[in-house]
Structure 1
């Protein structure tokens, strides 16, 4: 019975830790399947985590913070679309610039609002989410899977990333499709960040994403840019994260394994997964190609 509860706790922790990865990977899928490379997921998540925590603090409502994170994600997604679609900026460079910009701007705003460049005030337990973001994540994966297979607009997104010339020949604006997809990419990734500050933690802390935006991108590549395979890749990476948390402090031969070696386990799993399967993954044909 004890082992049953241990396994159950590990699986529950895996689902909780997978939540931000699922949101971010679905956001990345929206952008990249439409033909726009998105390495700015980390910045989108940070904006969502910060905005959600701040609004929830002032409103005493996690739902208000969740909605504010959605709006903030839409805005930063639209800003990214402006640079890479309208201005034709290099997508890789612009994505990294967004990551660096957000890392610098958030401490500045935190100083203005709370006179601190560190964490935002902690939310009381009753104002935090219990399980709602996890349900949202599952529904989002199911909805996107259905949308891609059964809807005309879903096919538009796929053609925007695979054969934009054919889409334009059909009278559909590839530019508008990519604008919509990149903007929604920001919203979904921001929800991933908000799930960190409102669900897994009680406040925003500096760099709390911990590279999850890049892990979500790795899950997307590992899942061949498809919702369900990417979802299962997120579960794999989250399982490695849950295991490393439980291995901290474990002794082998009377010696405690240094925590630094334990904490890199999820990243090692990510690298091994990509190194073993990256050759089998074919990105959208028009990914990164300007109009």
Structure 2
């Protein structure tokens, strides 16, 4: 009689994860940039001169005196630290590991500091003013990027951010001028952006026209409409229709007195505080609520979403309108938030940079804010260095924000994937 084997069958051999291939993009980039900074800003920099940074304001609790550092020696030390980070990134790449976001962030900070100590050699610059201005200039970019990601998360590509910012700026200026209230203008800005958003939703969602073409056409339409109204209506009646009040700076008690952090984050206008709220609300809504889950499902696989009972068309309509209002709110920065008057094409391509910030931020509100801060910093930096008359050519400084945009999107983003159904019209079967 044959014995029966009662032992449990042997477990299948464990599957090993395939090794990822080595990526040398980051180490090479860090090495080249670090070596360039060491040579140009350090070894070939100005010797015998100091760079002075002002890091305190009159209203801070603790007064910190200006900090002066030897320009050439500091740039050399910073260059060596950058090369050490490049070596660390190479070691991580050899072990088939990513260097980590903190490495890129720290490298960027060191590179900027190295550039500043070289460019401002023999002069003085306020770091608080630079950071505060960077945040202010990032406001329209962040609002525009969040408006774009609300649209694209539902599957609609929004190229019309430029037009929404422009109409928002126009609406805020006119309403604030008529009512003499910045808060009325703040309400009018998203309503004006909603006009462009309604046209975008009508043609892309209902009539399924190519989303890229519609976005470009709406941008041209917004430029033409606001330019015509400016020339024929606002310019002849500038005193009554184009002289809006500017938003006052609001100091948050206690927090605004903290050195460096206080003036930058908590001594701002209402529009900046609304940006904090918007980033938090959009993040929670998209990734922590049922509504956000449905929106992301529509943007990834609309047919599957429709199968489980989600109204794809209605979801896209709502998100396009909501995103357009958010972008329109960012347009208020250009008039009641800074300049105090509307002018033709005053957004100057900021909508396209906001689109790049959305991509660089990987379609997340926090990432979009970080990217907008990067672009805002480059914009403010060219203004500050232009005033200080640094050795950097003025033409280079003017193109710096756009150069940073190209480098960031082409080199830092790497291989990213947006919502799978973005740009694809949905036809219910």
TM-score (norm 1): 0.93
Cα contact 1:107–1:118 (8 A) shared by 2 = no
For residues 141 and 115 of structure 1, the distance between their equivalents in structure 2, rounded to whole angstroms, comes to: 36
Equivalent residue for 1:17? 137
1:235-250 equivalent positions in 2, closer than 5 A? 235-250=373-388
Residue in 1 that maps onto 2:257? none
| Correspondence list, 1:249-288, <5 A | 249-251=387-389, 257-288=392-423
Partner in structure 2 of residue 155 of structure 1: 293
Q: Distance in 2 between matches of 1:251 and 1:136?
A: 35
* 1:115, distance to aligned residue in structure 2 (A): 4.2
Give a deviation string over 1:238-260, Cα, whole Å, max 9, x none.
111111110114445xxx65433
The answer to whether residue 247 in structure 2 is matched with residue 128 in structure 1 is yes
Q: What residue number does 1:114 align with? A: 234
List 4+ stretches of structure 1 deviating above 3 A: 115-120, 249-252
Shift of 1:3: 2.3
What is the alpha-carbon distance in structure 2 between the residues aligned to residue 278 and residue 118 of structure 1? 44
**Cross-structure match for 2:112:** none
Alignment check: 8 A CA contact 2:141 2:351 kept? yes
- Given the alignment of the two structures, is residue 77 of structure 1 paired with residue 128 of structure 2, yes or no? no
Q: Does 1:91 align with 2:226?
A: no
Contact in 1 for aligned 2:153/2:422 (Cα 8 Å): yes
Distance (whole Å) between structure 2 residues aligned to residue 165 and residue 129 of structure 1: 48
Contact 1:34 1:177 in 2 (8 A): yes
Gap runs ≥5 in structure 1: none
8 Å CA contact 2:162–2:352 kept in 1: the answer is yes
Deviation for aligned residue 1:114 = 2.8
Structure 2: gaps of 5 or more residues: 1-51, 57-125, 250-268
Deviates more, 1:128-137 or 1:108-117: 108-117
Matched, 1:166 2:285: no
Q: Could you tell me which residue of structure 2 aligns to residue 59 of structure 1?
A: 179
Q: Relative to 1, partners in 2 of residues 1:285 and 1:227: Cα closer, same or farther, differing over 3 Å? A: same
Q: How many residues align?
A: 286
Aligned to 1:8: 128
Give distance in 2, aligned partners of 1:65 and 1:136: 14
- Between the aligned partners of 1:91 and 1:211, the Cα distance in structure 2 is 19
Task: For 1:116 and 1:281, locate their aligned partners in 2 and report how far apart those are by CA, in whole Å.
Answer: 49
- Classify the secondary structure of the residue corresponding to 1:280: coil
The C-alpha deviation readout for 1:201-223, integer Å capped at 9, x for no partner, is: 21111111111101110011011
What residue is the counterpart of 2:116 in the other structure? none
Q: Which residue in 2 is equivalent to 1:27?
A: 147
Aligned to 1:44: 164
Q: Distance in 1 between matches of 2:53 and 2:235?
A: 47
- How far apart, in 2, do the equivalents of 1:289 and 1:118 lie? 44
Q: Does structure 1 retain, via aligned residues, the 8 Å contact 2:163–2:219?
A: yes
- Report if aligned partners of 1:108, 1:117 keep a CA contact under 8 Å in 2: no
Residues of 2 paired with 1:231 and 1:168: CA distance?
Answer: 32
| Cα distance in 1, alignment partners of residues 192 and 303 from structure 2 | 32
Following the alignment from structure 1 to structure 2, what is the Cα–Cα distance between the partners of residues 19 and 111? 27
> Residue 263 and residue 117 in structure 1: after superposition, are their counterparts in 2 closer, same or farther (change >3 A)?
farther
Compare 276-285 and 97-106 and name the one that shifted more: 276-285
Contact kept? 1:36, 1:288, Cα under 8 Å? yes
Q: Deviation per CA, 1:65-94, whole angstroms, max 9, x where unpaired?
A: 111112122232112100111111111111
Q: Distance in 2 between matches of 1:288 and 1:207?
A: 27
User: Larger helix proportion, structure 1 or 2?
Assistant: 1
- Highest relative contact order (Cα 8 Å, sep 6+), 1 or 2? 1
Q: Which structure has the bigger radius of gyration?
A: 2
Equivalent in 310, 313, 316 of residue 175 of structure 1? 313
